[in-house]
A = this chain, B = another copy of it.
Amino acid sequence: MIVEIVSVGTELLMGQIVNTDAAYLARRLPEAGASLYHQVTVGDNPERLREALLCALSRSDVVITSGGLGPTKDDLTKDVAADALGLPMELNPEAERRLRGYFESRGRSMASNNLRQAYFARGAALFPNPYGTAPGCVIERGGKAVIHLPGPPREFMPMVDASVLPYLAARLGGVIRSRYLRLFGIGESDAETLVADLMDESNPTLAPYCSLGEVQFRLSARARSVEEAESALDPLERAVLDRAGQFVYAKTDIPDDTMACIAARRLIQSGKRIALAESLTGGLLAASLVAQPGVSSVLEEAIVSYANSSKIRRLGVSEESLREHGAVSERVAQEMAEGIRKSAGVDIGISTTGIAGPDGATAIKPVGLVYAALSTKDRAVVKRLELNGRRDDIRLLACLHATKLLLDELGGAYGG
């Protein structure tokens, strides 16, 4: 099953928006057993859109469009596609009812152009849109299919998960299930090498994705039933854990979960309170944790102690340690973590100190030298790191290592 993505919109074409929709869909298509060979982007121009759709239909089984489903006169995708397929546009009563209900429930009157969002090519099957007013749809014609999805990522991505992948899997006669294992402490190519032979299977599939410092394995199975798919995933998961289990810190059902949010959720579950002392990470560690709603119940405070005077005054780091070992040292990292734990009166203190560059390196302390430390009343841990990359990369990697210290302290099963 060959799929092609046609992204529609002048803002996209002109680069005012980066095409995260296409990247997201492309990453998930293999789960449904689909192959992708072309992505194209055109503006809100009916002739070029029509040409792109016909070209895509000539070489693919399924064409998926994003964008151009809204109420304005620039939103042409459905009309142009219906015309290209030789189908009339018809008002969908169910879509109209929902649209009117949407505006009524917000106490707003509906401008007449909004009704365009309830028109679809004859025979279209609708995909509900819980996050916006424009439903998606699929139109089957001559053994091929055209799928229309809304452009805003907050509407597009949930519709891919809820409607598009199940539709595509059903086209091949089945359902799909996916799990995600998140790894830390191993590079992408090393991770791939460990599981290389498992990646050759076509069902279930194993695919690695790499972001800065982290690797995610996606395990997907297509089968006739959910139970069958889950059963197919179990041995694959065991095989991955046999090879790479020591690097796996979490198993989730959603793609692209972050280590910080996973750690924050485990922290909330644990009920332990935490405080942070950040130097080179400059607030990033705190910011990554507070991305998780509810963290305010367990995060007491964070001190970004950039200056030595702040380390002394706020954290009780000793002047002697700063003088003898320097601010970037195991000793100072440890005193920062212990100092923040005690002065904030919490269970866990975490600290970071290091040299993000481009300046600040010395003969014995290179750019990228970082210490991350954790302190509880029972123990103290310090990690010494030599990180590579630009200033921003080094700070992000330092955050990941500090967050990993927290995950290790919280322990527990990797599921969660």
**Copies per complex?**
2
CB-CB nearest 5 A-B residue pairs: A283-B283, A15-B26, A283-B286, A282-B290, A301-B310
Residues B310 and A306 in contact, CB atoms below 8 Å apart: no
Q: Which residues of B contact A283 (CB under 8 A)?
A: 278, 282-287, 290, 302, 304
Q: Mark A283-323, 1 if CB is under 8 A from B, else 0.
A: 11111011101101001111111110110011000000000
Is residue A276 within 8 Å, beta carbon to beta carbon, of the partner chain?
yes
Q: Mark A33-65, 1 if CB is under 8 A from B, else 0.
A: 000111111110100100010000000000000
Q: Which residues of B contact A286 (CB under 8 A)?
A: 282-283, 304
Residues A38 and B40 in contact, CB atoms below 8 Å apart: yes
Q: How far is the CA of A43 from the CA of B35 in the complex (A)?
A: 11
Q: Mark A20-41, 1 if CB is under 8 A from B, else 0.
A: 1011111110100000111111
Q: Which residues of B contact A24 (CB under 8 A)?
A: 15
Q: Which residues of B contact A23 (CB under 8 A)?
A: 15-19
Q: Which residues of B contact A18 (CB under 8 A)?
A: 18-20, 23
Q: Which of B28, B30, B210, B305 contacts A301 (CB 8 A)?
A: B305
* Chain B: CB-nearest residue to A309: B300
Given the contacts A302-B304, A307-B300, A26 and B42 also touching, CB distance less than 8 Å = no
Given the contacts A39-B40, A283-B285, A27 and B48 also touching, CB distance less than 8 Å = no
Is residue A14 within 8 Å, beta carbon to beta carbon, of the partner chain?
yes
Residues A300 and B306 in contact, CB atoms below 8 Å apart: yes
- Shortest CB-to-CB span from A80 to chain B, Å, is 15
Q: Mark A255-286, 1 if CB is under 8 A from B, else 0.
A: 00000000000000000000010100111111
* Chain B: CB-nearest residue to A38: B42
Residues B43 and A14 in contact, CB atoms below 8 Å apart: no
Q: Which residues of B contact A291 (CB under 8 A)?
A: 391-392
Given the contacts A282-B287, A293-B359, A27 and B19 also touching, CB distance less than 8 Å = no
Q: List 23 A-B contacts (CB under 8 A).
A: A13-B39, A15-B22, A15-B23, A16-B27, A19-B19, A19-B23, A37-B42, A37-B45, A37-B48, A38-B48, A276-B304, A282-B286, A282-B287, A283-B286, A283-B302, A284-B287, A286-B304, A296-B306, A299-B307, A301-B303, A301-B305, A301-B306, A310-B344
